[in-house]
Amino acid sequence: MPQHALLAHDLVRSLGGRRVLDGVCLTASPGHRIGLIGENGVGKSTLLRVLGGVDEPDAGTVSRPDGLGFLHQEMPFDAGATIAAVLDEALREAREDLAELERLGEELARLPEDDPGHRELLAAYGRRLEQAQDRESWDADRRAALVLDGLGLGAFGHDRTLGSLSGGQRGRLALAALLVRRPPALLLDEPTNHLDDSAAAFLEEQLRDLPRAVVLASHDRAFLDAACTDLIDLDPAVDGPVRYGGGYSAYLGEKRAERQRWERRYAEEQEELAELRHSAGVTARRVAPDRGPRDNEKMGYGHRAGRVQSQISRRVRNAARRLEELERAQAAEPPRPLRFAAGELAARAEESERPLASLRDVRVAGRLALDGLEVAAGDRLLVTGGNGAGKSTLLAVLAGRLPAEGEVHRRAGLTVGLLTQDTGFERLDRTVRDTYERAVGPERAEKVPIGSLGLMHEADLAKPVGHLSVGQRRRLALALLVARPPHLLLLDEPTNHLSPRLCDELEEALGTTGPGAIVVASHDRWLRRRWRGRELRLGPESGRQEDVRH
């Protein structure tokens, strides 16, 4: 086994009475970057936690290198710790390497070569040297500055406390610490969630240049396309999880062809099974002669009848044998995939020449400076910009959830729906179905059942909300919005935590024309490359902005 390979064999893990991982095998060798994809809840984060040793599997084995790095583990620091403390911990191993090499070098210089302990000391120096070279320990301090700058943290004073950072900034700092430390293998759960374009491109470059085994789960299709050497799809497949070579673009074509092969195989086998059951039970026996012998063939009748009966018996036996084999080895029925099936995402407002919402000279101190914006009925507006440009703040102002200086007008009777980045529910003990019915009302829930929206599997509707994955909660929050479409739908990073396939379908729905207005704030490079409506590009706090049409 390569020194830093990560191996998993026949992993089984059940959560809440449901088998999430069922016989999963994985080999991640140095230099391979494996992306985990699939619907929300299929076990991507569960697999990472098992690989990282955070959770133990119910069955199966994991072989992992010592010191493996896992992004979504809690950093061992409290809110009062500083950035400097985090960096010191990230650099600790490299500094220990250099200090130990210096100590061993001094001892070697003092110890004569013919001394009995010289050979052992030289071997220890060689092992430590190899480890330091693997970690690039001499370059660690320069690497720390480069990584902080590349992830947008270079301007932060090292005396800043973690408690003064936003959740996204803390996430970037945790990622920076791993890249600085260069552990022997990396596990990353949604590493691009809080990264802007330049930071995501920087991370892709860092991973491509990293001679380590990397296993990551990501919804970011552009990132999967640029960073991964392989993808493992954990969605149900005829022979279990499938590994695909290449990035997301290559996967799309292969996945489509594989699904067609599975459906065709299942249909052909079901047709053959029906024919075999008919043959074994009925048809073959009816071939037997049911008439008596004619006068001119009485002498040969018994011989011919016996021969026919022998042929019939052989056919019946062959059919029964083939039937048994096929029933034992037949392909499972392809599960019906979720298909986003919401109708209009935003509803028609009363006819008026006035815009649904308008902003003029709007200011939120330190967060947003906007000269003007109008959102008309039928608008499709994409809001882009780097971290801190004010995208989320703008959506909160449009929704009326955040006061702002300047003029903010919303049309009378306007209904607004906002999907925030952080999806929260008051009662985590309530089931998905109960939460939905209470939020939209029994009458609406009956008219638009949650299962009809293509966002939640029927098996998940009886689960408590607290048992859902982050992505499943995001789906539920989206369902609550589209079940009763508002006049103005505001979506803050709507593709975060959603499966790539659902992102593709949601984008298609967003791109359709409709009576209501939709405003989307997104870092998603894949979505932005395909956007066909208006785009508002926000600059940093200086207030620079640009309103363009694609």
What is the pLDDT, as a whole number, of residue 219? 84
What is the pLDDT, as a whole number, of residue 238? 59
pTM tops 0.95: no
Domain assignments of the chain as residue spans, ordered by start:
1-68+183-236, 77-182, 254-329, 357-549
Same fold, 1-68+183-236 and 77-182: yes
Low-confidence ranges of the chain (pLDDT < 70): 1-3, 73-75, 237-239, 258-259, 280-313, 315-316, 326, 331-332, 334-347, 351, 512-514, 540-550
Per DSSP (E only), the strands in 437-492 are 488-492
Q: Which of these, 532, 533, 495, lies nearest to 223 by C-alpha position?
A: 495
Q: Classify burial at 508, counting beta carbons within 10 Å of its beta carbon; exposed 0-12, middle 13-18, buried 19 or more.
A: exposed
8 A C-beta contact, residue 18 and residue 30: no
CA distance linking residue 52 with residue 48, whole number of Å: 6
Q: Which of these, 434, 521, 547, 517, lies nearest to 480 by C-alpha position?
A: 434
Question: If you classify domain 357-549 with CATH, what class do you get?
Answer: alpha beta
Half-sphere exposure of 64 (CA within 13 A, CB side): 21
What is the pLDDT, as a whole number, of residue 325? 75
Question: If you classify domain 77-182 with CATH, what class do you get?
Answer: alpha beta
8 A C-beta contact, residue 346 and residue 489: yes
| β pairing state of 405-410 and 488-492 | unpaired
CA distance linking residue 45 with residue 41, whole number of Å: 8
Beta bridge partners of 358: 374, 409
CA distance linking residue 242 with residue 258, whole number of Å: 10
Query: Residue 83, Cβ neighbours under 10 Å: how many?
Result: 23
What is the pLDDT, as a whole number, of residue 246? 84
What is the pLDDT, as a whole number, of residue 543? 45
What is 1-68+183-236's CATH number, 3.90.79.10, 3.40.50.300, 3.40.50.970, 3.30.365.10? 3.40.50.300
Q: Which of these, 431, 433, 266, 252, lies nearest to 335 by C-alpha position?
A: 266
The strands making up 230-233's β-sheet, listed across from edge to edge, are 69-70, 185-189, 213-217, 33-37, 230-233, 242-245
